[in-house]
Structure 1
Amino acid sequence: MTPEQRLQQLGLVLPTVTAPRGNFDAWVLDGSMLYLSGKGSPLRQDMAAVPKVGREISAEEARKYAHEAGLNLIATMKVALGELSRVRRVVKLLGMVNATPDFMGHTEVINGCSDLMVQVFGEAGRHARSAVGVGSLPRGFAVEIEAIVSVTE
């Protein structure tokens, strides 16, 4: 089963990839390695209140943000590669959580993205990962995730 078929089976629709807001690329393909810039969650609409995990939103709510960030990453992979079957392996994720200083559930939050990668890519979606807490994120995101992916040429 292809990653696109898995997405369809899961009832997931990839979001539209937007252009970066700055002097950088959304992705860089260098040989067999695809580097994806950090993606936040499209669920975040209201810029008035910055959601701090552990204060305004729970770890479970933030996990949904990580899932949405993962969908953004997969959508970017599709734009970069043309088809998701070119993904040989998701190599590494770096998950950043905009959390209160006493929050300890970073791993559980970023699992929202990690679980999605395995659901969509199977064993090729298993990856190395870091999950860290940060004091703030661009555009007031609760979660931002970047990825490194090995691809077929």
Structure 2
Amino acid sequence: MSPYDRLAAMGLELPPVRKAAGAYVPARLAGGLMFLSGRGGAGADGKVVSGRVGETVSTAEAHEHARSAGLQLLAAAHVELGDLARIKAVVKLLGMVNAVPGYREHPKVIDGCSELFLSVLGEAGRHARSAVGVGSLPHDMTVEVEAILLVDA
């Protein structure tokens, strides 16, 4: 089953790739590695979701935001590669959670993205990962996730 078939079976579609919010690109291919710029979760309207986890946003809501960020990452990879089947492996994820001091559930939040990658990419979606808390994120995003992929060049 292709990544696109898996997305369809989950009732998901790749969203349009949001424009960069600064002087950078959504994806950069370097040999067999693709570096994907950090993406935040988006609501049904495509706008970035904001708030602070543990204050105005629950862990469960932030988990969904991380899943949405994962969809954004897959969309950026699709635009750059033309075919998600070219992804041989997700090498590393870095997930950042805009959370209150003392918050401890960062891994549960970023699992939203990790679980999506496993569901869509199968074993190629298994990866190393860091999940960290931060005091703030651009546009007051709840989460931001970036990825490094191994791809067919």
Q: How does 1:1-153 map to 2 (within 5 A)?
A: 1-43=1-43, 45=47, 50-153=50-153
RMSD, aligned α-carbons: 1.4
- The change in CA–CA distance for 1:137 and 1:148 in structure 2 (over 3 A counts) is same
Q: CA deviation at 1:152?
A: 0.7
The one-letter amino acid of 1:78's match is H
Q: Deviations over 1:30-60 (max 9, x none)?
A: 110000000001128488xx51101111111
- The change in CA–CA distance for 1:141 and 1:122 in structure 2 (over 3 A counts) is same
The one-letter amino acid of 2:72's match is N
Relative to the length of structure 2, the TM-score reads 0.95
Q: CA deviation at 1:18?
A: 1.9
Relative to the length of structure 1, the TM-score reads 0.95
Q: Which runs of 4+ in 1 moved over 4 A?
A: 44-47
CA distance in 2, matches of 1:104, 1:21: 29
The one-letter amino acid of 1:16's match is P
- 2:94 partner SS: strand
- 1:101 partner SS: coil
Q: Deviations over 1:89-136 (max 9, x none)?
A: 011000000000111000000000000000000011000000000000
Length, aligned pairs only: 151
Note the residue ranges of structure 2 that are not aligned, 5 or more in a row.
none
- 1:38 partner SS: strand
- 2:115 partner SS: helix
- The change in CA–CA distance for 1:71 and 1:17 in structure 2 (over 3 A counts) is same
User: What fraction of aligned residue pairs are identical, expressed as a percent?
Assistant: 49
The one-letter amino acid of 2:83's match is E
CA distance in 2, matches of 1:41, 1:89: 22
